[in-house]
Structure 1
Amino acid sequence: MTRRPFLRWLRRNEAGNAVVEFALTAPLFLIILLGILDFSWQFYAKLELQGVVNAAARAATLEGNALSQTALDNEVRRKVLNVFPRGEVTFVRKAYDSYSEVGDPEAFTDGNGNGRYDSGECFEDVNGNASWDADRGQTGNGGAEDIVLYTASLKMTRVLPIWKFMGQSEQSTLVASTVLRNQPYNAATSTKQVICT
């Protein structure tokens, strides 16, 4: 076979096209598939964590559980680790006087007008720790009729290696939180005082 007929034959020959096309598209397809599976797995983990946190937070607002917060945390941890055995679960509780105060800073007198708290300015110490805080919440479950922000974090190792291709961390941290009001089982107390340092 001479050169020209061979080139013509080579152009018309379609044998092996599927292998070449698959080799070009397979990596992209696999990355997308692994990404969907990883996202679905983390979405499921987030739903599981949120469901357990909601149930524990409802129980935490009852007077009978006011002193047994560790037991509720341990129950949340146990349920989450049943599904994600290598995870690490941590908890944070912050109590507020009203829903509108959740996440707000402690009020202060802006003496120099720069819009932020500076040392020496007077502030209302809502949480009783004698220092100004960007979040006025008092650590813990608070008292009767307090609003409680209950947050649980699940740190886990991702099971699929897609994080390598996406430039992400092998560790993933999922956070679930809920806000509820404690039952009115006692007279509410206040620790507010104005401090000028």
Structure 2
Amino acid sequence: MTRLGARLRADRRGAAAVEFAIVALPAITIMCALVDLGYRQYVIQQVQDGLDRAARRVTVGTSTTTQQLTTMLKDNVAPIAPKATVFVVPSSYGKFRQVARPEPITTDTAPLGRYNPGDCFTDINGNGVWDADAARAGTGGSDDIVVYVATVTFPEILPMSRLLGWDGVSRITASTMLKNQPYAAQPEPATVCG
């Protein structure tokens, strides 16, 4: 029995297989994660490029709808992520200083500095109600500033996140902001007292 134990300890055949088994799993995991991250970064780049190109087309006229804008972006992403779902939400503003800002209060009552019923405000988006964000939905009109936000959801090419119990779907968001060409006159916003 001692001879058998000594012979097994001295036998080095198969050591490489054991070492490979110890090193292979982490190495393969790291390589798969790098491939997945590289693919994700490539999709992010294509989404941003497609959104920039589609938004530039919209700036020269108002004939492009949100659905057409979404289709343009989907066509740009489809060759590399054919199962991707794409949503584009354009919001327009009259001036750069209005982007993501509330409609300005012109007559302020206590408590000061925030909108209260009875305050007067400049109705930038024309809906007759004070809004914390003065955006109008859609691609806007002549000389408007338009913020485009695209959300793209696509399945991962390797199931790395599914191994950790996640859903295996990547979600990315891209945005760009452009000013429409001055192809028509714009009306001035009205002051509304509520």
Give your verdict on TM over 0.5. yes
Deviation digits for residues 158-184 of structure 1 (CA, Å, limit 9, x no counterpart): 221001234433222222221111111
Distance 1:33 1:85 in 2: 23
Does the 8 Å contact 1:48/1:80 carry over to 2? yes
Distance 2:8 2:149 in 1: 66
Count of equivalent residues:
190
Hey, what does 1:133 align to over in structure 2? 131
Distance 1:88 1:156 in 2: 6
Q: Percent of counterpart pairs with the same letter?
A: 31
Residue 142 of structure 2 aligns to a residue in which SS? Answer: coil
Question: Alpha carbons of 1:14 and 1:62: their partners in 2 closer, same or farther (altered >3 Å)?
Answer: same
Does the 8 Å contact 2:92/2:147 carry over to 1? yes
Which letter maps to 1:112?
P
Distance 2:160 2:149 in 1: 28
The match for 2:93 among 96, 103, 108 is 96
Hey, what does 2:25 align to over in structure 1? 27
Hey, what does 1:112 align to over in structure 2? 111
Hey, what does 1:54 align to over in structure 2? 52
Question: Alpha carbons of 1:130 and 1:26: their partners in 2 closer, same or farther (altered >3 Å)?
Answer: farther
Question: Alpha carbons of 1:190 and 1:163: their partners in 2 closer, same or farther (altered >3 Å)?
Answer: farther
Residue 78 of structure 2 aligns to a residue in which SS? Answer: helix
- Report 1:44-193 matches (<5 A): 44-63=42-61, 66-69=62-65, 70-108=67-105, 109=108, 111-112=110-111, 120=117, 122=119, 123-193=121-191
CA RMSD of aligned residues (A): 2.6
Structure 2: gaps of 5 or more residues: none
Distance 2:151 2:109 in 1: 35
Structure 1: gaps of 5 or more residues: none
Q: CA deviation at 1:12?
A: 4.4
Which letter maps to 1:22?
F
TM-score, L = length of structure 2:
0.82
Does the 8 Å contact 1:58/1:180 carry over to 2? yes
Which letter maps to 1:96?
Y
Which letter maps to 2:15?
N
Q: CA deviation at 1:50?
A: 1.1
Deviation digits for residues 78-134 of structure 1 (CA, Å, limit 9, x no counterpart): 232233221111111111122233222334558436x7x576373543222233433
Which letter maps to 1:86?
K
Does the 8 Å contact 1:125/1:195 carry over to 2? no
Which letter maps to 2:70?
D
